[in-house]
């Protein structure tokens, strides 16, 4: 048993921690097993890491996972139980109960997202505590291999950003819209080119943002339709490697045409705020302190925090098997430690001007941070 798991179980007075789900959508299960499956399976983290999988997945799980043991539901007579009850859920629950009892488990921890129906059934025979998944905290500190995987995904992210920026740069302002090869250049076209580039690099694009003008005032608006001339366009790319499953994340804001003084001033304030945030990052400081320094830069530039406009989100977040994970750079941000991987992404948003955001991805080190982002910051193309 890993020391951190033993400490967690002892402190929580638990025998083991139970996960049930698919590792495609539950990154903690993938982190603990390194087994990728889109079908539901069971992971028990205790004296040993044990997987309970269908007979169809048993061979692959034995070869691919890092679990100490892989057990097939067929070893517990899943088909016989199914024939006896005629109900797949009841048969599975019977198998699960036997699996847990065979491993001497009585006191179980389960994550907040645990299936309610299975919890209801297990709670009749087991003492169950619903607590935050400890793996979510362990994932915040990356290994050398994880950092390398994120670095590789970030290189693909930058190649895709180059494609997007070059595409916008090759367009021409005509009135209020950008045109390229005689047609209006759209968010969908730029996003499509980004996605193709990422696919060529073995990554999948997840809700890429290409939003201009008033649309970009909503930080998570994906953007649609013709892109505006003479107004800022926010490009936020956060790809995931299909092989490693690790994310990258980067945002740039660009403009094609004539820049308004208000936009120029906003951009300079965001760039200075990002520089302040990057300079503040080191092991031992808190995400709260980093966020406070970014906020102060905006205040000094005359951009106070206001409801619905201005700096409307946190400074950053952890990146790994999720694009948003611990630690956070926010008003409640945790103390940073070496090997955290976080974004620094201040932004300003005003309905009558548009949105401006810059985002870099960094690794926390003892005295500073290593910036994994090597893409230039340039507003006017």
Each of the 381 residues of the chain gets a pLDDT tens digit; together they read 778 999 999 999 999 999 999 999 999 999 999 999 999 999 999 999 999 999 999 999 999 999 999 999 999 999 998 898 888 899 999 999 999 999 999 999 999 999 999 999 999 999 999 999 999 999 999 999 999 999 999 999 999 999 999 999 999 999 999 999 999 999 999 999 999 999 999 999 989 999 999 999 999 999 999 999 999 999 999 999 999 999 999 999 999 999 999 999 999 999 999 999 999 999 999 999 999 999 999 999 999 876 779 999 999 999 999 999 999 999 999 999 999 999 999 999 999 999 999 999 999 999 999 999 999 999 998
Buried b (16+ CB within 10 A) or exposed e, 139-170: bbbbeeebbebbbbbbebbbbbbebbbebbee
Domain 144-371 class in CATH = alpha beta
pLDDT for res 87: 87
Please state the domain extents for the chain: 3-138, 144-371
Q: What per-residue confidence (pLDDT) applies to 81?
A: 83
Sequence-ordered list of residues with C-beta below 8 angstroms from that of 170, at least 6 positions apart, any chain? 180
Q: Which residue has the tokens 């946190």?
A: 314
Query: 3-138 in CATH: which number?
Result: 3.40.350.10
Between vectors from CA 59 to CA 58 and to CA 62, what angle results, nearest 5°? 85
């Amino acid at each position: 048993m890993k020391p951190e798991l033993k400490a967690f179980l002892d402190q929580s007075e638990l025998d083991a921690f139970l996960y049930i789900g698919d590792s495609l959508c539950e990154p903690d299960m993938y982190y603990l097993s390194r087994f990728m499956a889109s079908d539901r399976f069971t992971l028990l983290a205790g004296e040993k890491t044990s997987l309970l999988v269908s007979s169809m997945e048993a061979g692959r799980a034995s070869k691919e996972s890092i679990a100490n043991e892989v057990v097939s539901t067929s070893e517990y007579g899943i088909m016989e139980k199914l024939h006896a009850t005629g109900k797949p859920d009841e048969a599975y629950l019977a198998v699960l109960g036997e699996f847990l009892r065979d491993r001497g488990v009585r006191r179980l921890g389960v994550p907040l997202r645990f299936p309610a129906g299975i919890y209801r059934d297990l709670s009749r025979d087991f003492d169950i505590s619903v607590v935050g998944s400890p793996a979510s905290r362990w994932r915040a500190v990356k290994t050398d291999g994880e950092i390398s995987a994120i670095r590789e995904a970030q290189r693909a992210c930058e190649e895709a950003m180059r494609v997007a920026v070059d595409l916008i740069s090759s367009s021409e302002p005509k009135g209020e819209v950008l045109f390229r090869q005689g047609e209006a250049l759209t968010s969908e076209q730029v996003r499509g080119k980004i996605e193709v580039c990422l696919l060529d690099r073995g990554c999948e694009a997840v809700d890429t943002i290409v939003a201009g003008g008033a649309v970009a005032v909503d930080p998570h608006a994906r953007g649609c339709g013709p892109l505006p001339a003479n107004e800022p366009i926010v490009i936020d790319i956060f790809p995931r490697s299909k092989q490693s499953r690790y994310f990258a994340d980067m945002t740039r804001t660009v403009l094609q045409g004539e820049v308004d003084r208000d936009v120029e001033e906003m951009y300079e304030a965001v760039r200075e705020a990002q520089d302040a945030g990057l300079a503040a990052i080191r092991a031992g400081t808190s995400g709260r302190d980093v966020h406070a320094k970014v906020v102060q830069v905006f205040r000094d530039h005359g951009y106070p925090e206001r409801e619905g406009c201005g700096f409307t989100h946190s400074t950053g977040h952890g990146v790994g098997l999720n694009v948003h994970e611990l630690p956070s750079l926010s008003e409640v941000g945790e103390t940073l430690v070496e090997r955290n991987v976080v974004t620094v992404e201040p932004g300003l948003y005003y309905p009558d001007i548009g949105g401006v955001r810059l985002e870099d991805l960094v690794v926390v080190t003892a005295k500073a941070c290593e910036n994994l982002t090597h893409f230039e910051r340039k507003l006017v193309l």
